[in-house]
Amino acid sequence: MNREIVKTIALVVVLSAAWRAHAADAKAPYPSMAPLDQYLITDRNAEIELARSAAPESISKDAEVLVLGQHGYEIAVKGKNGFVCLVERSWTTGSDDPEFWNPKLRAPICFNPAAARSYVPFTIKKTELLLAGQSKTQMFESIKSGLDKGELPTPEPGAMCYMLSKQGYLNDHAGHWHPHVMFFVPLNDSQTWGADLPGSPVLASKDIADRMMVFMIPVAKWSDGTADSTDMH
């Protein structure tokens, strides 16, 4: 299993600190935020469809769907099963991720009810702060402050999500990578899953800024039912 690619994906989704490249480095491919339009999807229905592609239709058809607008995420479709689907953008990666401002990044995710309550608030908050003009540093300081004041939650037991979209673009290295499910747990529970050890099917990413651990388990099929083509999962 190619651990480097695995780590790369983890960064995209959960603010991993695995990448050590400096954002300020002149060689960084995305040194600052691109014009907002490059992050938006002009076709609202296309974004809804992309968000839903994160999970099988049996789940996504009744999920709430959020789309990115000029000032943040907006409810495009009301749900009735507690799941929330959305397309994350590059600023949900780690602060030192060289693709933090990659405007091509599209990460469709469907969150279960526990994650919708305890993880999605981070995505919404970060997006609102950045689109309101805060710098990356200011945004992470705001997140830290929100956590310190208890305004942002810790992961609820059972918080998880689906990332099964073949249409996703998680970074320049891995493209859509592999279909997988992810679990969010409090940071202090990070040693209990046997993740990242040789042969373990569980991959881990420590999200220091959001104070949570993310565990990933690759699965065999994309949300459309087709098989993942390689041996990565």
Partner 1 sequence: MNQKIVRMIALGSFALVVLLSASQTRAEDSKTPYSSMAPLDQYLMTDRNAEIALARSAVPESISRDAEVLVLGRHGYETAVKGKNGFVCVVERSWMAPFDDPEFLNPDQRLPLCLNPPAARSHLPLTFRMTELALAGLSKTQMFDSIKAAFDKNELPMPEPGSICYMMSKQQYFGRKYGNADPHLMFWVPKTDDMFWGAGLYGSPVYVHQYSPEPITEFIISVSKWSDGTAAPTD
Part in contact with partner 1 (CB under 8 A); list of ranges 33-41, 97-105, 132-140, 194-202: 194-202
In the set 51, 59, 76, 131, which binds partner 1 (CB under 8 A)?
A: 59
- Choose the stretch contacting partner 1; rule: CB under 8 A; options: 34-42, 65-73, 93-101, 211-219: 211-219
Residue-level length of the chain: 233
Measured distance CA(116)–CA(105) in Å, rounded = 21
Nearest approach, Cβ of residue 120 and partner 1 (Å): 16
| Rounded Cα gap, residues 105 and 176, in angstroms | 10
Residues 147-176 that bind partner 1 (CB under 8 A): 157-158, 160, 162, 164
Who's near 226: CB < 8 A, 6+ residues apart? 166
Q: Pick the closer one to partner 1 by CB: 150 or 198.
A: 198
Residues 6+ apart with CB under 8 A from 2: 232
Binding track, positions 71-90, relative to partner 1; x by CB under 8 A: ----------xxx-------
Residue 22 C-beta: closest distance to partner 1, Å: 32
Cα distances (angstroms) measured from residue 68 to each of 11, 16, 36, 97: 21, 23, 11, 21
- Determine the interface stretch with partner 1 among 14-22, 95-103, 112-120, 141-149 (rule: CB under 8 A): 112-120
Q: Which residue type occupies 201?
A: P
**What tokens does 191 get?**
């040693």
Please, what is the minimum distance in Å from the beta carbon of residue 19 to partner 1?
A: 24
> Which residue is associated with the tokens 């373990």?
200
Candidate segments 39-47, 107-115, 167-175, 203-211, binder of partner 1 by CB under 8 A: 107-115
CB-based contacts of 137, cutoff 8 Å, min separation 6: 95
- Asked if 43 is part of the footprint of partner 1 (rule: CB under 8 A), the reply reads no
**End-to-end Cα distance, the chain:** 8
Instruction: Point out which residues bind partner 1 (CB under 8 A).
Output: 55-59, 81-83, 110, 112-114, 157-158, 160, 162, 164, 179, 181, 185, 189, 191-194, 197-202, 217-221, 223, 225, 227, 231, 233
